[in-house]
Every structure is written in C-alpha cells, then in structure tokens.
Structure 1
C-alpha cells in the first residue's frame, strides 16, 4: 500500500465522519425543535 492510497482513504474516512457528525447534529437540533413546540 503506497502513501497516496493511504491519503485518499484517510480523506474519504474524514469526509464520511464529518457527514455522520453533521447528520447527528441536524437530528439533534430538529429533535430539540420538536420538543420545544
């Protein structure tokens, strides 16, 4: 496994983690809005 492949995989994992975190934050904010109303 060469360095370029490792960097690409790292970027993909980082990107996916960001999407998951953003998705969770959106769910939490939507949930809190429903709780308030």
Structure 2
C-alpha cells in the first residue's frame, strides 16, 4: 500500500510477498489463504 495508514496489519505487504514468491515458482493459489477480512 502506498499509504501505510490504509494498510491493515501489513495485508498489502503479505500479498506482495506471496505474489513475488509465486513468480519464482512457489504455489500460493492452491493453499488456504490467510483471512484478510
């Protein structure tokens, strides 16, 4: 998140880490994801 005040508990950072890891071959979409609600 560009504005850290809008980011809830590092949600955007965790998403970016998962997406970046998937670029390097880690499978992230077939596992149970964290609840972001």
- TM-score class, shorter-chain normalisation, is 0.3 to 0.5
Structure with the higher helix share, 1 or 2: 1
**How does the TM-score come out when normalised to structure 1?**
0.44
The higher relative CO (CA closer than 8 Å, separation ≥ 6) is in: 2
